[in-house]
Amino acid sequence: MDYKIIATCAFGLENVTARELKDLGYEDLKLENGRVMFEGDEMDIAICNIHLRTAERVLICLSEFDAFSFEELYQGTLAVDFPSIVPLDGKMHVTGKSVKSTLHSVPDCQSIVKKAVVDSMRKTYRNELFPEDGPVYKIEVGILKDRVTLSLDTSGPGLHKRGYRESSGTAPLKETLAAALVLIAGYDGGRPLVDPFCGSGTILIEAAMIAQNIAPGINRSFVSETWPTFPADIWEQVREGAKLAEKRRKLSITGYDYDSYVLSTARINAKKAGVFDNIYFYKEDFRGLTMNDRDILLITNPPYGERMGEAGEVQELMSKLGRDKARMQDADFFILSSMDGFEKAFGRKASKNRKLYNGRIMTYYYQYFAEKKVT
């Protein structure tokens, strides 16, 4: 069956996710805030869930319509042929959000949609009650400026949950954002990669997976695998193809951090991700770290200095990072930071910067290119 598919992503990453989709062979993409839309079938849903690195979820768009009243919301939902999607025992879970819309009460909208879904099921199955003890079908009602989008989540847990990260410290960087940082930086495994504030190793692990073409969803399951309308062999085929496409090779990837416990976590995560042999983790305080003056790519998410008394310390760290860049003219530095006055502390204006959201924190991705690349 053909569907209108939505790959959701963090704001600011739409073009990165679209590039991933184009590399997978998809065309006629439509980009909106936080999502990329395209056409596909069950095989495409499996491919996107297993292969997309920067998407948060893969959804099926069930319907789009305007609704200014609960009756319009009910009728618009009732018009969807839910029995063709949800089996008799399907567990129908409704989530919602509403922005700048007449129907602003999300709980009421969820109740109306759930009632319409059940009424749609009753017409076909001739049942008054449904056990809802089978596969999960999470239906999302999203209303933006009175425009309703009904969608069905095919992923289950968010796609950032690759399955390799047990612990991530106090300020985790999502795997999807870490992968985006690596892709924006253009890392392909051809040069040494360094993260002087590596924490639990997420950026380096994602980089190793990208360089070796390891599909991010290869070792996890997805809720749509449990749906009877999705043949099991589709998922088997996609996973088998992903395994065959892996390119195991030697990489030069190095991470530093001053915290022994966090580094032990990073090593465990790297082992679970299958890339431990390609990443070297060292205990080192950045203030005493001397990086070699060579053609390296540095990608990092340093401390933001949000706690009281930390701002001055972080400013000193960024000043040292700037001095390192001035010394290492052949290196490229890519730094994600929410720090006010970052460029002043660093000592120079970035070649480029890009606004990204780390969770709910607005950050900038500062890009300092090698001197030979600046024109």
pLDDT digits 0-9 by tens, 28-42: 999 999 999 999 999
How far is residue 259's CA from residue 310's CA, in Å, rounded to a whole number?
A: 17
pLDDT confidence of residue 373 = 55
pLDDT confidence of residue 308 = 40
pLDDT digits 0-9 by tens, 120-154: 999 888 888 888 899 999 999 999 999 999 999 99
pLDDT confidence of residue 309 = 47
pLDDT confidence of residue 375 = 47
What is the rounded average pLDDT of the residues 57-86? 97
Question: What pairs with residue 91 in β-bridges?
Answer: 136
| Gyration radius from the chain CA atoms | 23
pLDDT digits 0-9 by tens, 223-253: 999 999 899 899 999 999 999 999 989 999 9
Domain ranges of the chain: 3-153, 175-213+248-368
Q: Are 309 and 273 in contact (CB under 8 A)?
A: no
Question: What pairs with residue 219 in β-bridges?
Answer: none
What is this structure's pTM? Answer: 0.94
What is the rounded average pLDDT of the residues 362-369? 96
Equal CATH topology for 3-153 and 175-213+248-368: no
The strands making up 279-283's β-sheet, listed across from edge to edge, are 279-283, 253-257, 193-195, 297-300, 332-337, 361-368, 352-358
Which class in CATH covers the domain with range 175-213+248-368?
alpha beta
* Angle at the Cα of 199 from the Cα atoms of 361 and 257, rounded to 5 degrees: 130
pLDDT confidence of residue 126 = 87
How far is residue 322's CA from residue 8's CA, in Å, rounded to a whole number?
A: 35
pLDDT more than 90, % of the chain:
87
Q: Which residues contact 242 (CB under 8 A, 6 or more apart)?
A: 50, 51, 215, 218
pLDDT confidence of residue 335 = 98
In the predicted model, is pLDDT for residue 361 greater than 70?
yes
Q: Does the domain spanning 3-153 belong to CATH 3.30.2130.30?
A: yes
pLDDT confidence of residue 1 = 85
Question: What pairs with residue 147 in β-bridges?
Answer: 66, 144
Q: Are 8 and 59 in contact (CB under 8 A)?
A: yes
What is the pLDDT confidence band of residue 169, given thresholds at 50, 70 and 90? low
Q: Please give the mean pLDDT across all residues of the chain.
A: 93
